[in-house]
Amino acid sequence: MRTDSTTVGSFYEFFAGGGLARIGLGPAWNCLFANDIDPRKVSQYKAVFGAAEIVEGDVAAIDAAALPRGADLAWASFPCQDLSLAGARGGLSARRSGAFWGFWRAIQRLGAEAPPVIALENVAGLLTSHGGADFSALVTVLSNAGYAVGALAIDAASFLPQSRPRIFIVAVRGAVPASLRAAAPGPFHGRALVEAAESLPLQSKSSWIWWRLPEPPRRNTALTDLLEPDDMVEWRKDSDTARLLSLMAARQRAHIEALRASKGRHIGAAFRRMRSADGAKVQRVEARFDGLAGCLRTPAGGSSRQTLLVVENGKVRSRLLTPRECARLMGLEDDYPLPSSTNAALHLMGDAVAAPAVRWLSEHLLAPLVTSARKTARAA
């Protein structure tokens, strides 16, 4: 374990993916152990950080006795597919999102040596999955293990030009500094989170904390700032763009026409979605021109790929976001090595946590909690 004066603490990174949580935490955090079941993600993790910490395999098969001791934090961005509003919503009992329980068993087996701080990250659908029962189950198991628990709803749009709301559950064992407690919900506690907290069982409510985090400085980048030059990317044929526009609802098409008639360059981000119209399911293209990309997804199919629409001088052009642009939208520098396969790179980014959101959480909550936990341990 590194012990220089710049070290905030040590951590485990479960469901590590391409290591964006580790990047967000930054070099002041010392990674003791990382794990992922996907060999492609493990290969990517090694390409970025080396092979020393990452272990490939099912989290449920991890031998807790083999885990390095002394971790201050356990980070787990567990699979979201069964909790997402876009999925079948099997919840924590389903195969993929249910991997959380394998992680939790590993933590439980550490007993008194379990990290004093735990951070879980997932989609906003966690709050309503199974009528709120899945969120309640997570809070309850943490509470029953002696942790004080709170959650924050943080959108990557606070830091990056991408709309990516996520729920961060943060739990700590030991005293909580008054400076980190809020008397009431604050800027990172939306209505859905407040309602989910209010629905918790009484026993779990007694362990609940409204974490206090400051609002970040106003974001000063827009989607257009992260895009490649026009002559460096592949554009769709005009006929393909016309097909996309034909899938828009009348109101969206009218907006495009208004932009075509106006001056300047207008950039929008669009997805294909299934919508109900006259009692039938129809495919629609929906675009936003507010300077933000839509939430990046894994490329499960053609409709999952995000399209850019560029309206300029009366003409509309379209193309797909590139993997490098997606990496920038996750807060990565251009020296981050992406997989050579486009699909692999897009899957990696669509499945990851936005690094700047982790950085903000670390600076204003995780690092202070670890410092407090260490003081408590020394005083005991």
Rounded percentage of the chain residues whose pLDDT exceeds 70: 92
Q: What is the pLDDT of residue 301?
A: 52
Please say if the pLDDT value at position 203 is more than 90. no
Q: What is the pLDDT of residue 324?
A: 98
pTM: 0.92
Please say if the pLDDT value at position 158 is more than 80. yes
Range of weakest confidence among 99-108, 217-226, 346-355: 99-108
In tens, the pLDDT along 323-370 reads 999 999 999 999 999 999 999 999 999 999 999 999 999 999 999 999
In tens, the pLDDT along 266-320 reads 999 999 888 887 778 888 999 999 999 999 998 865 456 899 999 999 999 999 9
Please say if the pLDDT value at position 87 is more than 80. no
In tens, the pLDDT along 234-278 reads 999 999 999 999 999 999 999 999 999 999 999 999 998 888 877
Mean pLDDT, all residues of the chain: 91
CA 292 to chain centroid, in Å, comes to 16
Q: Which two tokens stand for residue 297?
A: 């997804």
Q: What is the pLDDT of residue 362?
A: 98
Q: What is the pLDDT of residue 375?
A: 82
Please say if the pLDDT value at position 92 is more than 70. no
In tens, the pLDDT along 109-155 reads 999 999 999 999 999 999 998 888 889 999 999 999 999 999 999 99
Average pLDDT over residues 46-59: 96
Q: What is the pLDDT of residue 82?
A: 45
